[in-house]
Amino acid sequence: MDIPNIEEYKTIVEQTSSLSDRRQVTNDIYVALNTLFLTGVAYFLTTTHLKSWWPAIILGVVTLISWVINGTWMGLLEQYRELIKLRYTYLKQLEGLFPIKGADIARGIYHAEQKLYDEHHNFDFTKLELRLARLFLILYPTIAIVVAILTYLISQGILSTPIFN
């Protein structure tokens, strides 16, 4: 069996690192978008008195837009997960072919990391990122529903209009 080219290994390691960096930038962008949307929603809600249905309608539209945005984010996270997983699998296979002299790790760093992932199941960062995207998917409709209920209660005279200072 031939020993693989170390340059190929290095290239794939660099590509994997670059892919992980792009995933992090993607997360930063989508968290910033959600922060911007939620800040806008909070400001909007403090300026309205919920006497008409327009705030609820506007929040419904914002919810639909946020679903598209966060759904796209979740799709990108899944793609990054698959691409990075593929590279890790290939790197582990390459490491199994390299002669590693004097190393404390039997087969290579990716094999050693896999043992850690297997022992600590919460090491999967993509799962945490997906939870955050799902949280946003739940948060927007929840806010819209609460605003719709408050609008109904205010329009029926059951509650008085909120006054934000």
Q: 15-54, pLDDT tens digit by residue?
A: 999 999 999 999 999 999 999 999 999 999 888 888 899 9
Q: Quick one: tokens of 155?
A: 């329009």
Task: Give Cβ neighbours of residue 163 (< 8 Å, ≥ 6 apart).
Answer: 49
User: Residue 106: pLDDT above 60?
Assistant: no
pTM to 2 decimals? Answer: 0.81
Residue labelled with tokens 């419904």: 60
pLDDT tens-digit map of 51-67: 899 999 999 999 999 99
User: Residue 73: pLDDT above 70?
Assistant: yes
Average pLDDT over residues 79-105: 78
User: 94 falls in which pLDDT band (50, 70, 90)?
Assistant: confident
Helix (H, G, I), strand (E, B) or coil at 99: coil
**pLDDT averaged over the chain?**
86
Task: Give Cβ neighbours of residue 87 (< 8 Å, ≥ 6 apart).
Answer: 12, 15, 16, 19
Name residue 20's amino acid: S
Q: Using an 8 Å Cβ cutoff, are 31 and 17 in contact?
A: no
Integer Cα distance of 116 and 148 in angstroms: 47
Q: Quick one: tokens of 62?
A: 């914002």
